[in-house]
Structure 1
């Protein structure tokens, strides 16, 4: 007998600051530790919830190996102090891993298989490189021209989108500048505070004189990537990094980053049982495939599909978090769908704030949940392109 579809509600949503990979806040911090911090903070937002009621945790990660391997989801739930009855599964849909984790958790509730779930994402691009430690493509990828796009680096796909959608260098740099400016304004106004999990960072250095290791601690509570000194003049000086005569630069691309996000999702029954206040309702989700060599256009296909599933029009959306993998693909999506620029990334995007791959979907979902509540808006969307040629979009409604 099929189960009746029920609503899934987000009752807690938080994320860590985003650090620059390789040299930033979290260069020596394990991604599972970042996830533990986010999960604990999410749980602190719902003190009346009995942790034993949590069925499972679905956690996204783009390269689940090394420090974020060995089923990081399960390990992090144990390390966070949750009962051993709480399960954990790590899922990978590259840049959409975090929003896919939320969709999977919500779907367990919507079909009646669970009443309380944890969803999230974590990624350390400092400790696990892009592509993983041992990339290995199927030889068939290189045997046929129609498959070769699978092996394209993300930057090269952005160059192809820039060419086909005629997105010039000046437009890309202007978009990048606005991302930084919006992020700085939001930081100065304290608009990230509600969604943020402050993280204590431990810096250890040897004292050669005493032979001891000195440990210093500091707490970080803001994203690291946004720059006040960004200018069009400075961006214009940067050279293309993916094609000799291209237009995609480090300045108009997303920043490689470290971070984590966590959300708690409940059924209506759980809301009543534990006297929980819903922040948002999970409305719909869609994923669509596109040619791998132009993967950046994925949201052009996924956004209309998610809107159809929700029974909404594009005009119904009040807030859109469109992951800025590259300015080129972001502008191609915005222009093709005629998205309202004022509604897209009002607090800046990945070019300024960073893009910790598998964590981004959960991070930006936390942003949407709190932005809708803070601004008293109704519908928000998280959407992104995905490596190897996909696009994803998820819609949330403020409760």
Structure 2
């Protein structure tokens, strides 16, 4: 049966503040609780919607095990109080998982398979480490040089990108400083307020002498990563983190983080039925592969494909959220694709704001959509590199 492609609209998008890992504000907070919180929060922004109308909940997670395993999408939607009739699925495309979830949700609507879908992402790098608790590569990866890049640490791939695209240590540190400065300015100007749903942290401690337990409650509403004390001098003092003679340091790399985000998508019919006002239209999404050893350059392949699908040119983009996995790879991508630095991460990026892996794509989508509306701009893009050699890019139109 032939189906006519219909439009998918984003009605609401929200996120938690992002905490540092492994000892930040969410170090003891379960990721399914973070996810349940944003699911409740995004639905609260569309009070006229019947939750029973939600056809699916699609959630990205890069390390879906332990506290964020057991199909965390379904677990969290039930914890959030959604009806038992609402299903959930967890998807994994590493760092693009959150954006992949939004794209999959949009495509269900575009194909006419669903009218209302929730999408999002979640990651606790405090509770589930990079690679998971028991990573196990196929021995064939190490049998020769053909597949060895699959096993390279992300930092080493960033070093290879820096070398191939001749990105200097000075340029990386300057980019990192700019990320912090932009993020701090955005916080001071309240530019993240609309997209963040404050989270209540409950901390219980026990006094062994009195045998009494105490409860400390605090509400957090601001990202933990941006540092006012960052300077070029301080960044220059940091030693290479991944290669003895390298240029990639902890200061010009993304921060390990904890966080979650959720996006509510609807068809045009659902907009009318529930009297909803869209934030944006989903336009296009593309994923492409590159050599695993230079995985950071992936967006250079995905961006032209997403633009071609949309029938748009790079110059049409008013705002580009390029995930700053590493300053080296971000700068190489900007150089290769000729991205305008003024349009890239105007509120800072993952070096300052953090990178909770599977949540980042949905988090950056929330930042983009609220930012486009606030600045009355039209087109925006979310793009990132992906482990094992991929890149993703999604385009949205603000309404």
Distance in 2, Cα, partners of 1:2 & 1:104: 19
Aligned to 2:196: 196
Aligned to 2:152: 152
Give the alignment's TM-score, normalised by structure 2: 1.00
Aligned to 2:336: 336
Distance in 2, Cα, partners of 1:331 & 1:268: 39
Aligned to 1:183: 183
Aligned to 2:226: 226
Question: How many aligned positions are there?
Answer: 399
CA shift digits 1:265-285 (9 cap, x unpaired):
000000000000000000000
Aligned to 2:46: 46
Distance in 2, Cα, partners of 1:2 & 1:384: 33
Query: Could you say what secondary structure the match of 1:340 adopts?
Result: coil
CA positional deviation for 1:2 = 1.9
Matched, 1:353 2:347: no
CA positional deviation for 1:338 = 1.1
Aligned to 1:97: 97
Write the mapping of 1:57-76 to structure 2, written as runs, cut at 5 A.
57-76=57-76
Aligned to 1:165: 165
Query: Could you say what secondary structure the match of 2:94 adopts?
Result: coil
CA shift digits 1:146-186 (9 cap, x unpaired):
10000000000000000000000000000000000000000
CA shift digits 1:45-83 (9 cap, x unpaired):
000001010000000000000000000000001000001
Query: Could you say what secondary structure the match of 2:261 adopts?
Result: strand
CA positional deviation for 1:230 = 0.3
Distance in 1, Cα, partners of 2:264 & 2:328: 34
Distance in 2, Cα, partners of 1:244 & 1:214: 47
Distance in 2, Cα, partners of 1:163 & 1:43: 46
Moved over 3 A (4+): none
CA positional deviation for 1:209 = 2.5
Aligned to 1:316: 316
CA shift digits 1:98-141 (9 cap, x unpaired):
00000000000000000000000000000000000000001111
Distance in 1, Cα, partners of 2:22 & 2:393: 29
Write the mapping of 1:296-315 to structure 2, written as runs, cut at 5 A.
296-315=296-315
Distance in 2, Cα, partners of 1:316 & 1:211: 63
Aligned to 1:397: 397
Matched, 1:283 2:283: yes
Aligned to 2:142: 142
Aligned to 2:215: 215
Distance in 1, Cα, partners of 2:59 & 2:394: 16
CA positional deviation for 1:23 = 0.9
Aligned to 2:126: 126
Query: Could you say what secondary structure the match of 2:3 adopts?
Result: coil
CA positional deviation for 1:312 = 0.2
CA positional deviation for 1:372 = 0.8
CA positional deviation for 1:252 = 0.1
Distance in 2, Cα, partners of 1:56 & 1:296: 32
Query: Could you say what secondary structure the match of 2:17 adopts?
Result: coil
Aligned to 1:271: 271
CA positional deviation for 1:144 = 2.5
Distance in 1, Cα, partners of 2:354 & 2:48: 34
Query: Could you say what secondary structure the match of 2:342 adopts?
Result: helix
Q: Indicate the larger mover: 196-205 or 91-100.
A: 196-205
Give the alignment's TM-score, normalised by structure 1: 1.00
Distance in 2, Cα, partners of 1:149 & 1:201: 40
CA shift digits 1:276-334 (9 cap, x unpaired):
00000000000000000000000000001000000000000000000000000000001
Distance in 2, Cα, partners of 1:140 & 1:345: 39
